[in-house]
Chain A
Amino acid sequence: MQGNTCLAQCPPKTSFSLTQSLQQPACIKELNLRGQSLELLPPSIGQLRSLRLLFLHENHLRHLPENLTALDSLRVLFLNKNSLLDLPASLGNMRRLRQLQIEQNMLTELPPSVAGLDSLRYLLSAYNNFTSLPEEVGQWNQLEYCDVSHNQLLFLPASVNRWGNLRYLYLNDNKLQQLPARLGDLARLEELNLSNNQLEELPASLGECQNLKVLILSGNQLRALPKSLGKLTKLEMLILNDNQLTTLPRSLSKLKQLKTIIVKQNAFTPAARRQAETTLPGAKLYF
């Protein structure tokens, strides 16, 4: 059977074989080729126009055929744990893509066309070699979850302030030296992990992230925190170990939800420790 002629007798929607899928290309909604030692993906995969979920993770892929992006019904694409050096230039054609999972590859950049991924909600791209993200990522206004940890990021594009639906942002283990001034526009942000970067200061606007519950800043070069953190009224966890802090802002005393503060490996004097404990009686401090 070919094309839509199979509608009356579609097989189970999940397939583990590309060959079998191509025999009934209009029927397959989910194709799982995880861990099949694939080194090349044949261009014929572009025929699976009904595909919604495509799992290609844990293979040996270095490049992808350009017509992969013809899969315009695709919602979920797993490419993690391959050896990818680049992504198709036309990646942005996948307008329905909600989840892109590309961690543990050797990618250095996202193509500018990613501006077209305007349905993207989840980006998982840790453990690559990105040094920057294109300004076009600001177009992802549906983005809820973004993990670009364990890359080589030197800076973030200013446009990230347009990620108005973002709830989880993981930028840890990069080389960031500064953050966009308008980071505080991320009003729905609940978790922010900036640990193991090279930050010496934080933007005051961070205090505008009114929904932030977890803030992780360990392994930077911070000498002080902005007073504006005292406006993070929903903050529950503050992880600050391995910095150069000598004190905590007194404004933190306003944060009644704050229960855990980890400040090991900083430069607190015994007096500063006592002061912090006195100022924050409702929190458990780990020195």
Chain B
Amino acid sequence: MKPTSTLLLAALLGGGKALAQVPCPTLPADHISRFTSVEPTTQPQDLRIPSTHTFQMLAQGNMPYTNAADGNMLEAFDFTGYAPIAGSSTNGYLSINHEGSGTTSGVSMLSLNFNAATKLWNVTAKHPVNFGPVTGTINNCSGTVTPWSTIVTCEENTGPTTPTDTNNDGYMDSGWNVEIDPVTHTVKDQNGDGTPDKLWKMGRLKHENIVVAADQRTAYEGADDGSSNSFVYKYVATTPGQLGNGTLYALQLNGAIGTGTTGTWIVIPNSTPAECNNTTAAARALGATSFNGVEDIEISPLTGQVYFTAKGPGTIYRFTDTGATGTTFSNFEIFAGNTPTNTAQAYNINYGTGTISELWRTGNDNLTFDSQGNLYVLQDGGRNHVWLIKPCHTQANPAVEVFAVTPAGCEPTGMTFSPDERFIFISMQSPDANTLATVDAAGQSVVFNKSTAVVIARKGVLGTALSTKGAQAELAKADVYPNPVNGSELTLQLSHNQKEAATLTVYNTLGARVFEQAATLNQGQNTLKLPVSKLTNGHYNLVITTATTTTTRPFIKQ
């Protein structure tokens, strides 16, 4: 995640003592991170989030920009950062990276605000960021929202389209962090000469991600560069709030990965363009430790510890740092995921009506902390879940949930919170050609067949249709098929944990009830048939209501 300044206020860097296990706080009933897990499955066609939550689609690939001359939004949505205006949780910018190739890399900047009456977000403008003055960008992967509400976008590759210094300014064209002013959707000038610059001093490498600490000086970043060059870096800006100049370090663990618990920050030369261009070679030569695919890196708001993911082994590490002035770190350990001695870690997931042992697999990627220390883990590999790990988690006593099962073919990317943590902003990158329509909190029919940015919140916070209802569990499994249906019957297959009366109601897109039928559900598997021959072609929602559950499934009649 790219924490906002609010989330980082508690992120104190310091201390070298071993930390005791952090207790899990009891979250308020309406907290966004309080939920019953989604049942882990392979990726379906839709987005499955806790039954207490809902989502609204904000943008999809190929939507037109505000100015027609700018064309359409690119695909491959990645970092999805909410940058508040004056700290607002209802008025800000949404920066969406495009992790493309060739001419399909870039960043889109959306203006958006929350309407308290409709309880919906309105996207009021969409603009591409102009990277022309810095010879473009490539593979915009993840990034951060800085404590001063700008955006940093990370170039994941040191090529490839023009892997050289085409404008002869001494700096290679790609492989850098780039800071964006969301207000003007332009690249910031870092040296005061009136022209935009990339963040040369932070080094040229295969940047995956970055986090800037609350001191506005200390930043951490990682490289996704194979088994030999995936290093963790610390950057200490000379002046708070200005990333243009500073000292760059690489992490060197004392001992092998898995056994070393302390280490040293090695200074990496960055005083000349040639030195900045060769960050990776210098870090390797000076003995930095490679972690095989470093992805996201974040700071715990509870302890100030630094957490990072290594995608190759599927491991989340953490350590205690000594802040802007320190050159050592301690308490280095595996927090979650696979270990050298257990490469098939699994966690028990209680999804309300059952518990299943779900393999962690590989691919842990983006991280996002909420202010209570709950760590969201977005997966690129395995089954591409959005996991949540509670702060009390240990490998011996796991505390792991599944927040979302994501649409087929996509990688969940992002993600960020609004400062008040009522809203999550996240993208589904490049799903398959799915066809299932889902109705979102705004009543939009959403098909996850292209990159999609959504906002997620608890029901009652987002959208009015369901806002007055108390949170009620969904049925464990409820699938409708065929979908779209062009015959006379729609089949509903579901499982239930008890015998119970149910009502099946079909609503059209205007919310009008067009069909209703009583049924009795038995414990275990149930198969029900709905006559749909009299329905006109279009989108519908089937709502299955029992005394203890309310479950909605969209379908299309053709």
| A residues neighboring B (CB under 8 Å) | 12, 14, 16, 30, 32, 34-35, 53, 55, 57, 76, 78, 80, 99, 101, 122, 124, 144-145, 147, 167-168, 191, 193, 195, 213-214, 216, 218, 236-237, 239, 241, 259-260, 262, 264, 284, 286
Contacts and interface: CB of A to CB of B under 8 A. Distances in A.
14 contacts: A14-B102, A30-B103, A32-B102, A32-B104, A99-B160, A101-B160, A191-B278, A193-B281, A213-B274, A214-B281, A236-B275, A260-B275, A264-B285, A264-B286
Interface in B260-282: 269, 271-272, 274-275, 277-278, 281-282
Interface string B85-123: 000000000000000111110000000000000000000
Contacts of B163: 122, 124, 145, 147, 168
A122 B282 CA distance: 23
A241 B285 contact: yes
Contacts of A259: 269, 271-272, 275
Interface centre among A167, A191, A195, by most chain B C-beta atoms within 10 angstroms, is A191
B281 A239 contact: yes
Contacts of B286: 241, 262, 264, 286
A34 B164 CA distance: 23
B162 interface: yes
A34 B274 CA distance: 32
B412 to A, nearest CB: 16
Contacts of B71: 12
Contacts of A262: 282, 285-286
Given A218-B285, A260-B269, A57 B164 contact: no
Contact of A236 (B75, B274, B430): B274
Contacts, number: 88
B352 interface: no
A226 B236 CA distance: 38
B161 A76 contact: yes
Interface residues of B, number: 28
Given A55-B101, A101-B160, A236-B272, A214 B285 contact: no
B274 A99 contact: no
Given A168-B164, A236-B274, 4 more contacts: A16-B75, A30-B103, A122-B163, A145-B164
A80 B287 CA distance: 29
B278 A32 contact: no
The 10 nearest A-B residue pairs measured at CB? A236-B274, A213-B274, A260-B269, A262-B285, A239-B285, A241-B285, A55-B101, A53-B102, A145-B164, A214-B274
Contacts of B285: 195, 216, 218, 239, 241, 262, 264, 286
Contact of B103 (A53, A57, A264, A286): A53
Contact of B281 (A34, A101, A216): A216
B159 interface: yes
B164 A284 contact: no
A12 B285 CA distance: 46
A108 to B, nearest CB: 21
A34 B272 contact: no
Contact of B274 (A78, A144, A237): A237
Nearest to B162: A122
A144 B162 CA distance: 10
Contact of A30 (B72, B102, B274, B281): B102
A286 B268 CA distance: 11
A22 B161 CA distance: 25
Contacts of A12: 71-72
A259 B278 CA distance: 13
A264 B164 contact: no
Contacts of A264: 285-287
Nearest to B166: A144
Interface in B144-175: 159-165
Nearest to B163: A145
Contacts of B281: 193, 195, 214, 216, 239
Contacts of B271: 259
A191 B163 CA distance: 13
Interface in B46-76: 71-72, 75
Contact of A237 (B103, B159, B282, B287): B282
A14 B100 CA distance: 12
Contacts of B269: 237, 259-260, 284
B282 A260 contact: yes
A78 B278 contact: no
A12 B272 CA distance: 42
Contacts of A236: 272, 274-275
A30 to B, nearest CB: 6
A191 B171 CA distance: 12
B101 A32 contact: yes
A11 B282 CA distance: 46
B374 to A, nearest CB: 31
A164 B75 CA distance: 39
Nearest to A218: B285
A220 to B, nearest CB: 13
Contacts of A55: 101-102
Contacts of A53: 102-103
A264 B286 CA distance: 7
A184 B272 CA distance: 24
A3 B75 CA distance: 27
Interface in B239-263: none
Nearest to B76: A34
A158 B87 CA distance: 63
A241 B288 CA distance: 13
B553 to A, nearest CB: 29
A124 B160 contact: yes
Contacts of A122: 159, 162-164
Contacts of B72: 12
Interface centre among A12, A34, A237, by most chain B C-beta atoms within 10 angstroms, is A237
B101 A14 contact: no
